[in-house]
């Protein structure tokens, strides 16, 4: 039996603008993760993929076009093809995850990453992080339509990444450890729909949206410098600037703003939505001195779940 894991992630800066070629920064969140287990099945059983938490039991049948395939099946097929192993196997692939679904924490990319890692290890194939990331990107296209590729990159590399669509992700040094609080609004967020809505707004007023995206890009570049030099106060301030731009882009929501306000009032250095928005998670940058205060404030303001994670 072979077991593999994949962490979750949050986008620190630059969501949405990243789809239009601006840079973004994402960091891994190891506190919640996906697990994939591969074991041999009885002869003649074929390949079964089971996600018991979701009541999914799927048998690998005849190939269907990528956009009609179940994302789990597509991941398994693409991995077999990549490592040069025939699909005619008797295998049970089980997946499980503690990552909240549809909350901007990359649950789909993490499950796919765990499957790619477990299957390749089971057959003794060694894939680099970038090869894993490329395979997972193909699954992301089924989930999201036009993903920038940031989720598969940060999860496959398991390091903070500075990401520009179409380029190899750059991992970078964090000058001084900082702490993030991740708070769930309790509202599901459909990345595919929200990205499509933003595209419609961009089409209706390209000049305005291009300028908003360029402003986000400048914030991301400044944020990278402040994180690298250990200036967490400046990084927090830039988070607030990024949140204001996301509000203008039209992807914030009352639930997000309630949590952002509560975190700032309790002493966070900065707070913003993370991921596609209109729900999902809010992140707050904090010093350890205010950790408890910010966590309690977020709970009182209605956060469905609160996680803290150190970024180093």
303 sits in the region (left: phi over 0; alpha: psi -120 to 50; else beta) called beta
Stretch that binds ligand PMV, among 15-23, 116-124, 242-250, 260-268 (CB under 6 A): 15-23
Q: Which of 12, 15, 154, 162: binder of ligand PMV (CB under 6 A)?
A: 15
Chain centroid offset of residue 249 CA = 20
- Report CA dihedral (256, 194, 182, 268) to the nearest 10 degrees: -50
Chain centroid offset of residue 69 CA = 22
Stretch that binds ligand PMV, among 10-18, 116-124, 129-137, 234-242 (CB under 6 A): 10-18
**CB contact at 8 A, 109 and 287:** no
Q: Which of 28, 71, 106, 279: binder of ligand PMV (CB under 6 A)?
A: 106
Give residue for tokens 């609004």: 185
Q: Is 37 in the site for ligand PMV (CB under 6 A)?
A: no
> Which residues does the annotation mark as catalytic?
151
Q: Is 275 in the site for ligand PMV (CB under 6 A)?
A: yes
Toward ligand PMV, which CB reaches closer, 180 or 276?
276
Q: Is 282 in the site for ligand PMV (CB under 6 A)?
A: no
What does the alpha-carbon distance between residue 280 and residue 277 come to, in Å, rounded to a whole number? 6
Rounded to a whole number of angstroms, the minimum distance from the CB of residue 157 to ligand PMV is 16
Q: Is 148 in the site for ligand PMV (CB under 6 A)?
A: yes
Q: Is 219 in the site for ligand PMV (CB under 6 A)?
A: no
**CB contact at 8 A, 104 and 10:** yes
Q: Which of 6, 19, 91, 111: binder of ligand PMV (CB under 6 A)?
A: 19
- Longest Cα–Cα distance of the chain, Å, equals 61
Toward ligand PMV, which CB reaches closer, 75 or 148?
148
Q: Which of 83, 195, 301, 307: binder of ligand PMV (CB under 6 A)?
A: 195
Cβ density class 234-247: b for 16+ within 10 Å, e for less: bbbbbbbbbbebbb
Stretch that binds ligand PMV, among 52-60, 141-149, 200-208, 296-304 (CB under 6 A): 141-149
- Using alpha carbons, select from 266, 210, 262, 260 the residue that is nearest to residue 240: 260
Q: Is 104 in the site for ligand PMV (CB under 6 A)?
A: yes
Binding site for ligand PMV (CB under 6 A): 11, 15-16, 18-19, 104, 106, 144, 147-148, 150-151, 191, 195, 275-276
């Amino acid at each position: 039996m072979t077991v593999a894991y994949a962490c979750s992630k949050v986008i620190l800066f630059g969501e949405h603008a990243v789809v239009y070629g601006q840079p973004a920064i994402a960091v891994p969140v190891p506190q919640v993760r996906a697990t994939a287990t591969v074991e041999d099945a009885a002869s003649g059983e074929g390949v079964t993929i089971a996600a018991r938490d979701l009541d999914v039991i799927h048998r690998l049948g005849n190939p269907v076009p990528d956009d009609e395939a179940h994302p789990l099946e597509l991941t398994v097929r693409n991995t077999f093809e990549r490592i040069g192993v025939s699909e005619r196997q008797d295998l049970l692939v089980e997946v499980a995850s503690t990552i909240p679904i549809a909350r901007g924490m990359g649950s789909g990319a993490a499950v796919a990453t765990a499957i790619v890692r477990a299957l390749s290890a089971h057959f003794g194939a060694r894939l680099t992080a970038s090869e894993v990331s490329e395979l997972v990107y193909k699954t992301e296209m089924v989930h999201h339509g036009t993903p920038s590729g940031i989720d598969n990159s940060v999860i496959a590399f398991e390091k903070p990444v500075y990401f520009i669509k179409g380029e190899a992700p750059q991992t970078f040094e964090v000058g001084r450890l900082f702490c993030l609080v991740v708070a769930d609004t309790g509202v599901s967020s459909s990345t595919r729909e929200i990205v499509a809505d933003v595209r419609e707004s961009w089409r209706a007023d390209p000049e305005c949206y291009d300028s908003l995206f360029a402003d986000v890009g400048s914030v991301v570049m400044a944020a990278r410098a402040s994180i690298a030099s250990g200036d967490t106060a400046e990084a927090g301030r830039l988070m607030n600037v990024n949140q204001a731009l996301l509000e203008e882009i039209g992807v914030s929501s009352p639930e997000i703003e309630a949590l952002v306000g509560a975190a700032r009032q309790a002493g966070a250095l900065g707070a913003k939505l993370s991921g596609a928005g209109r729900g999902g998670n809010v992140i707050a940058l904090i010093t350890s001195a205010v950790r408890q205060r910010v966590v309690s404030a977020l709970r009182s303001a209605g956060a469905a779940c609160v996680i803290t994670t150190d970024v180093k």
